[in-house]
Structure formats: structure tokens, C-alpha cells
Amino acid sequence: MKLNRSQMVWRAAQDIGDGWLVNLGIGLPVAVADHIPQGLDVFFHSENGVVGVGPLATGNRADTDLVDAGSRTITLRSGASIVDSAWSFAMIRGGHIDVTVLGAFEVAENGDLANWDMKIPHKGPLVGGAMDLAAAAKAVWIVMEHNTRSGGPRIVKQCTLPLTAQRCVKRIYTDLAVMEIGPAGVIVHEIVDGLSREELQKRSGAQLDFAPGCKVLTTPALADVEA
Amino acid sequence: MPINKRVGSAQEALGDVPDGATVMISGFGGAGFPNTLIRALRDRAPKDMTLIVNSATHRLSFTHELIEAGLVRKVVCSAARGRDKGLSPFEQLWKDGKIELVCLPQGTLAEAIRAGGAGIPAFFTPVGVGTDLTKGKEVRVFGGREYVLEEALSADLAIIRADTADRYGNLTFRYAQANFGPAMATAATLAVAEVRAIEDEPVPHDRVQLPGIYVDRVIVAPEIKP
């Protein structure tokens, strides 16, 4: 019933549109690139200025100057370009990114996002481009486990951790459901087989509404990615 | 006198950096760290520096050595997280109140530097509204949306990494090496670049990524990647 991490990013990838400019967050979201449906022509943006990130480069193809924001050696796709940081973030703030797919600690029912500060005492802050992407991409989608390791909800009435941006999240893809955030709150569009609506609600900290066409969340069998 | 921005060594290029200097350091995502110049700055050892740098703790940058050497009073950055579970030297200094830290969203940092070199003293951005990083900052509504006022950043010195230069200081960058470098050079009184090679012929105009008018000194240094 519940999806593994590859299946979660696969599901998010199915909603990417043809011709979009897409920014993928460090960690699990970058794996969305591995599951873009055939026939779509998509450009991936990285905060360090790469417009048109291609597959990872390994071995003697790796060039330490050709990297993404996560310091991974990459290749460029056909038609790629590279700009400097000021331009790269002007691209983000200017609303030129069609969607950013990010991880999250918490998402509130009004779309508030907390994904940058776990409040670990005395550990230095690390915000990077998270606030820029969350505040200014045309759409913010979240890929995350539905619950914390201790079983607590990540979808909540109000975030308890420091906010990344207010009212920014449009969609959430978890291991249990696909949800949208609208003016009225969280609406479930797909739910995994074998999980009741009541159980999904119990695992969530905010009121869920179910779309009239709410259907079973199905994905192909995929090997899990490393955490 | 014909312009020639080439300087013989990193020591010479940074020989006049005073105590209390505000210093911008390029590099992000593993590319564009001016590690030869950072080491020369550490050896020059000006005290009470303010660093403006994307990450104070990136594993491929020697920036942390300036902090560990006790030369830094304040850091303006978007990332200062130590990689280990315990506290990094930076985090320990911060905890003990020996170093001041200003954390900005990365795009706000980039734009503040760009503005600093472009004659814009401050700007309104939608990024960070309603978050801990903009507490106490002025917020105004434009077109029904809230924006926060952020001030420009400028510096006494920028040290950056580029690929090639010519005697005029025109620079080219490889792949993602540019990142913060061009904006930082525009926002600093003194801009010093370390490059792989200085060409005898001028860089063709359509290949110049940072005009030499922004660059004061250039040294040749093989790139150090820890």
C-alpha cells in the first residue's frame, strides 16, 4: 500500500508539464528528474545558475566546475545555458520557474511551508535558496513522507517549525496520498490502496477534504532510492 | 601607461588589506572558490574582518580557515551549517558570542550584492516575508502582495575565482564557476581574481563575462580543490 521514495517522486514527475522550467530541491526531489514521462521536453534549473541540468556525470566525465547547487557533478542537456547567481535568483524571483519540487518538515493547511530550520540548538543556519524558491516559483510542490519518524503528522493546522514561506504550497505528494492545497484547505485527490479515508485523516494534523473524484494512488513497482 | 592588472603573487595582491575589512568571497555548489587568495588572506591575517560569502562552511572552500584563525568578527551568508553532528569551530564561536552572524536567503544575498555594485541602496523582495530571517525589517504592499525591504551589500575587497583573464582584467568563467563572482567584483572597492591563465591576447569582446573595469588585480593560480 504505502509508496516507497522512488514511487513518491515518480508520482510527482507525472504532473510535470511539457516545456516547463523545473527546479528540484536537494535530496529526494532531485530524483524527480529520473521519472519524467517520455516525450516531454523539460529544462531543469539549479540555483547556482545552470539552466538545463542533464544526468549526473561520473568517472572521467565529471568536471568539478560543472556542478549543481548540491555540489554534484552533472552534465548539460542540449540547449543548456549557465548564468551567475544574481541572474539565477532573478529568474526564480521573477516567476520564471514553472514549478519547484521541494522536501518539507511541515506543511500547514493554508500552504505555509517549513523546510529549512529544524531548530537544532547551536547548529548554524542553512537556508540557501529555499525561501527564494518557495516564495517565488509559479508552483511549489512538496514530496515528503506523510508522517515523521515518530509517527507525528507533517500536514498540520499550523507549522511549529520556522517558516520558509507563507501560503506557497500547491500540491503535496506523500507515501500515502496526493493532495492539493486550495482556499478551503487540504483536498485529497489520490489515496493508496488499502488505506481508509479515516486512517489517512488520523495520520494528518489538519482537516482533510476528499475530492469528488478521489481515486486510488497507483504507481509502477520501482526499486527504492537511498534515503 | 598601458593597463596591466596582472600581479605576481597572491601575497602581493592582498598586501594592503587592513584590519576590519569587509571581504566578499565567491563560490557555490563546489565551483568558483578562490582558495589560493583565501589562504593568502589568512596569512596576511587582518583582524576583525566581516565576510560576505554564500556558505561559511562549504567543504570545498577554505573560508572556514579564516574563521578558525580568529580573524572574523561577522559573517553574512546563506549557509553556516557544520557538517558534523557536533559543533563546528564556526558554530562554537557563534554559540560563545564571539562571531556575529547574519543569515539571508541566497537570492536576497545575491541581489543585495548586485545592488551594491549597481547603485541601488535597498530593494523590496517577496522572499522571506513572514519568516525569522526578515524580523524587524520594513514590509510594504505592492499590488496586493507583501514585500520586505533589504539593504544592498558592498565590500572593501572581493576575492573571486575565474578561468581566464587578460591584462585588462576581463574575465571568463568555466561552467558554474561564475556564481557570486561577477556581482561581488562589482560591489567591492578592490576586486582581486585568481585565474587558471592570463592570455596574451585580449579576451574577445563577446566572450568577456565580467568586464575588466570591475577587476583591479589578477593572479595566476592553479585551482585548489580540497
Measure B138 CA to nearest chain A CA, in Å.
17
Q: Which residue has 513572514 as its cell numbers?
A: B130
User: Minimal CA–CA distance to A87: which of B34, B214, B186?
Assistant: B186
Task: Give the chain A residue nearest B59 (alpha carbons).
Answer: A71
Q: What is the pTM of this model?
A: 0.97
Over residues B17-49, the pLDDT tens digits come to 999 999 999 999 889 999 999 999 999 999 999
Q: ipTM above 0.95?
A: yes
Report yes or no: B56 at the A interface, CB cutoff 8 Å. Answer: yes
The answer to whether the CB atoms of B110 and A126 lie below 8 A apart is no
In a domain, B37, yes or no: yes
Write out the H or E segment, with its range, that includes residue B194: strand B188-195
pLDDT(A6) > 60: yes
Minimal-distance CA residue of chain A relative to B129: A165
A117-141 tens-digit pLDDT: 988 888 889 999 999 999 999 999 9
Name B101's Cβ contacts closer than 8 Å, sequence gap at least 6: A124, A125, B74, B75, B77, B80, B94
* Strand residues in A161-203 grouped as ranges (E): 169-173, 177-182, 185-192
Interface of B with A in 92-111 (CB under 8 A): 94-95, 101, 103-108, 110-111
Mean pLDDT across A59-74: 95
Per-position b or e across B87-103, b if 16+ CB within 10 A of its CB: bbbbbebbeeeebebbb
For residue B5, the distance in angstroms to the closest alpha carbon of chain A comes to 23
Q: What pLDDT shows up at residue A227?
A: 53
CB contact under 8 A, B183 and A84: yes
Q: Hey, which residues of A are catalytic here?
A: 47
CA separation for the pair B206, B175 (Å, rounded):
16
Of A82, A83, A127, the CB nearest to B106: A127
Q: Is the pLDDT of residue A35 over 70?
A: yes
Please enumerate in sequence order all residues whose Cβ is within 8 A of that of B30, keeping only pairs 6 or more positions apart, or say none. A64, A67, A71, A73, B58, B60
Contact B81 A125 (CB under 8 A): yes
CATH number at residue B175: 3.40.1080.10
Percentage with pLDDT > 90 across chain B: 93
For residue A185, what is the DSSP state?
E
What pLDDT is attached to residue A114? 98
Kindly determine whether residue A86 and residue B110, on different chains, have CB atoms separated by under 8 Å.
yes
Question: Are B111 and A93 in contact (CB < 8 Å)?
Answer: yes
Q: What percent of chain B lies above the pLDDT cut of 70?
A: 100
Residue that the C-alpha cell 565567491 belongs to: B26
Asked whether residue B138 is domain-assigned, the answer is no
Shortest alpha-carbon distance between residue B202 and chain A (Å): 22
Domain coverage including residue B40: 10-119+154-220
Give the residue on B whose Cα is nearest the Cα of A68.
Answer: B29
Pairwise CA distance, residues B154 & A37, whole Å: 45
As a CATH number, domain A5-217 is: 3.40.1080.10
CB contact under 8 A, A125 and B128: no
**How many structural domains comprise chain B?**
1
H helix count then E strand count, chain A: 4, 13
Residue B33 lies in a domain: yes
The answer to whether residue B149 sits within a structural domain is no
Supply the mean pLDDT for chain B: 96
